[in-house]
Structure 1
């Protein structure tokens, strides 16, 4: 269906791309950005069912855009209209930042096509949309989730159950997995905060996640419990969504608030789940700690973790769990890039530890300069392409 749709779009573009009679430059830019967003919908295998299409059209602007809409949207646009226009703008900027490299068919996370295509596809219990703990897969980091799934990092690290193993319940996500616990804080909380902000047009009373089989007190399951248990993280995510709805927010503004919210959720997860590192080999536990620290260092430069960037970067991550026999940072069945990444993460952890976090403070200060942020991103991307 999407191939036929895109073919029709391509024919239309070839015939009408020279049309100049738009109501304003703002309307013309929105039209071209919207066509780019449609291509992303195709890539994500978006399923335009009647219900989801109807909800989508509710957010489409009810009039042509004028020059005065360039910076601040006028009051006669609804929250959902503002959200759609900012989402289209956000996608366009991602496309521009990545140089149009959004051929993501190879980057799809596992089970992407089988995942729910709209909110109503989720299980309903007692009038509420409920999702069991093991099924909380729709994460803001689906590509990273896919790497965890493929490499066995969502399986039971205690090996007391068959949860997550190929020979057993391979779709199961273990409640004892350090990675899975972090995923929950970085997916469930942002999702509930999005509902709370009103950006999704869903009643906050209708969404509840079902608790896991153990450690229930470490998680939150609806908006009120998340607000109560993790007020700072929920506040940060709400601030992010408020700026998503603001037409004046730039791509860098959104990255700033996104990373602030991400770090807040991550800090909360550290407090509750670092004790699970004991379930892993020393090599794997060290890698997990080093990886989490590296992600913290990605926040000050406002690293744009777009889908394709994440897909390319993950080629440098280990393709299996680290075991006690993995000595040093030159593991024979890993690529040169994967061994270099392991060495770099370990080196960063040692510098951070021996400087008493001074290195992070200096890093934050330097990364306040835009030229420094741009230089870091260029060096990182060059290194990945060179060693890959």
Structure 2
């Protein structure tokens, strides 16, 4: 596989012109059918797997292989083939492709552009850089833990002249020990004797801890923000900030749930002058999402980080995390759900949590 048809290439170019983000093709992530489901289809050198994570189909294949390898251990997530929380990651990557966020933002090359290699992920792309930490790192961990096969060794390819990305398990562990340790820790969690509902919540908590550790490690990408408009940078920061809420609520990022939250994301890179909710060429859903992201980031900044802290403290049990997931869905997907309602509920939940600590019931 790993060879997109002309139709697939045209699709990758054309969908970015639509009025809302296109993240699914026949119910699966964009160009999923052109990825490989076999480790042996990836390039090798001297017996070592050498995938190219700067090629869209290779990076998407890393997700496909990781999902397939870990699915047997994800029974607590549900009975559907798309219930693994890992499905949110390939959907994110597909959105980045179709919205033009994987292309070279400097204009120095045609990497990722319709006039160049549409499957190219530019090492200058902030989005492509951040995504590297939640694609290459978990795959290297999965290989090290034996999920991909016994004794499989992996070394990621890097573009010429690019040296600021770790490429092997040992290299990434040295540079980002916290992120790699958390990805490694998922294997032990899959053997937990807990009942399925508790195991699911625990596993989602560990998964999100690993993803957030990777996201924090991706601060190494920050210099690349200078290639974008201040509006896009503000959205990027809001997007990162939103992960703090999703993570604390142990969001079940299966294919269906993730599609609902990713499809309203902006279908193109934002430019100076774009001001939600009044961006004419974006859909009402996209404008709403951008407005909510901006509001959450602004309130959190005004409160000195208190909103995130309140939310994290409130997400202290399986029950409150379930309520939290419902509330996030209302806030992001229901334009009629007032932000003031969200703020008052979070404050109330957090107050109850603090009261419970100070005055525990007998």
Q: Which residue does 1:122 correspond to in 2?
A: 42
Q: Distance in 1 between matches of 2:215 and 2:227?
A: 20
Moved more, 332-341 or 143-152: 332-341
**Alpha-carbon offset, residue 387 of structure 1:** 4.7
Change (3 A) 1:275 1:159: same
Q: 1:276-295 deviations in whole A, cap 9, x for unaligned? A: 11100111111111101101
**Alpha-carbon offset, residue 202 of structure 1:** 3.0
Q: Distance in 1 between matches of 2:256 and 2:328?
A: 14
Q: Describe how 1:1-388 pairs up with structure 2 within 5 A.
A: 106-135=26-55, 136-137=59-60, 138-139=62-63, 140=86, 141-204=89-152, 206-216=153-163, 218-248=164-194, 250-270=199-219, 272-382=220-330, 386-387=334-335
Q: 1:282-333 deviations in whole A, cap 9, x for unaligned? A: 1111111110110122111111111111112222111111112313432112
Q: 1:120-154 deviations in whole A, cap 9, x for unaligned? A: 10011122110123122333411111111001000
Q: Distance in 1 between matches of 2:254 and 2:174?
A: 31
Change (3 A) 1:276 1:333: same
Does the residue aligned with 1:316 lie in a helix, a strand or coil?
coil
Stretches of structure 2 lacking an aligned partner (at least 5 in a row): 1-23, 64-85, 337-362
Q: 1:87-125 deviations in whole A, cap 9, x for unaligned? A: xxxxxxxxxxxxxxxxx8643122211111110100111
RMSD: 1.9
How many matched pairs?
282
Stretches of structure 1 lacking an aligned partner (at least 5 in a row): 1-103
Q: Distance in 2 between matches of 1:325 and 1:350?
A: 18
Does the residue aligned with 2:30 lie in a helix, a strand or coil?
coil
TM-score (norm 1): 0.69
Q: Which residue does 2:79 correspond to in 1?
A: none
Q: Distance in 1 between matches of 2:160 and 2:233?
A: 24
**Alpha-carbon offset, residue 264 of structure 1:** 0.6
Q: Distance in 1 between matches of 2:117 and 2:258?
A: 27
Q: Distance in 2 between matches of 1:275 and 1:265?
A: 17
Change (3 A) 1:179 1:386: same
Say whether the 8 Å CA contact 2:276–2:288 is kept in structure 1: no
Q: Distance in 2 between matches of 1:298 and 1:224?
A: 30
Q: Distance in 1 between matches of 2:327 and 2:245?
A: 15
Q: Distance in 1 between matches of 2:308 and 2:161?
A: 35
Tell me which of the two structures has the higher relative contact order, counting C-alpha pairs closer than 8 angstroms and 6 or more residues apart.
2
TM-score (norm 2): 0.73
Say whether the 8 Å CA contact 1:107–1:311 is kept in structure 2: no
Question: Between Structure 1 and Structure 2, whose CA radius of gyration is higher?
Answer: 1
Q: Distance in 2 between matches of 1:247 and 1:221?
A: 34
Q: 1:1-45 deviations in whole A, cap 9, x for unaligned? A: xxxxxxxxxxxxxxxxxxxxxxxxxxxxxxxxxxxxxxxxxxxxx
Say whether the 8 Å CA contact 2:51–2:155 is kept in structure 1: yes
Does the residue aligned with 1:172 lie in a helix, a strand or coil?
coil
**Alpha-carbon offset, residue 238 of structure 1:** 0.7
